[in-house]
């Protein structure tokens, strides 16, 4: 699953994703080190506006949806979105591990969205893990790259078989991982020191 993630350099999004329009934000410019369910995240819906906006993480209490469930649908996938991140966490024996791109760039999770209580609620699509994440967990978030971002955000309904083709694990060779502070286990703690490396815990 994907239960927490980061956006430590929100100012880097505009350069990494020039296609999108970034309105003036206030608190959404603040670095986030421990984004948790029910909180606001930055994302884009497939409504044709290409506008970055705040979405609430969790659709009726569901924070993740399996890619296999989307692929098994009999009808096209309509309400799709992305959420921005620059790292995510998985746990092994209550020890958190932090995953980023080797490039250090921010990236986009695949998600679905629904209108809910006057806002747009979203979830994060998960898939089978790549070799790096599999050392810690049996699922990972779907990270979209290149043209797959455009396909996912197209306004037209997406056939389930086409969705299945792009909701795949990212190449492990593009990623880094390391153990970080157990302070992260407190979902209300959001400070840079959660990223301090734990030298006593090894991934391999």
Whether 83 sits among the annotated catalytic residues: the reply is: no
Whether 90 sits among the annotated catalytic residues: the reply is: yes
Which candidate in 2, 81, 122, 127 is catalytic? 2
Which candidate in 83, 90, 122, 127 is catalytic? 90
Look at residues 181, 82, 178 and name the one whose alpha carbon lies nearest to residue 135.
178
d(CA 119, CA 177): 34
Q: Catalytic residue numbers? A: 2, 90
């Amino acid at each position: 699953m994907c239960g927490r993630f980061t956006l430590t350099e929100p100012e880097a999004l505009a350069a990494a994703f020039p296609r999108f329009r970034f309105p003036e934000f206030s608190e959404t410019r603040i670095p986030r080190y421990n984004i948790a369910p029910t909180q606001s995240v930055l994302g884009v819906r497939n409504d044709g506006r290409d506008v970055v906006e705040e979405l609430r993480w969790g659709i009726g209490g569901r924070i993740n949806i399996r890619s296999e469930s989307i692929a098994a649908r009999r009808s096209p996938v309509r309400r799709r979105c992305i959420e921005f991140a620059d790292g995510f966490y998985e746990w092994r024996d209550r020890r958190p591990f932090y995953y980023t791109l080797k490039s250090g760039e921010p990236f986009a999770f695949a998600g679905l969205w629904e209108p809910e209580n006057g806002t747009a609620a979203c979830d994060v699509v998960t898939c089978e893990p790549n070799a790096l994440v599999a050392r810690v967990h049996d699922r990972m978030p779907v990270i979209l790259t290149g043209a797959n971002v455009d396909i996912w955000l197209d306004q037209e309904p997406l056939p389930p078989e086409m969705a299945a083709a792009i909701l795949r694990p990212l190449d492990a060779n593009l990623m880094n991982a390391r153990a970080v502070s157990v302070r992260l286990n407190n979902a209300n703690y959001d400070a840079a020191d959660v990223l301090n490396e734990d030298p006593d815990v090894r991934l391999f």
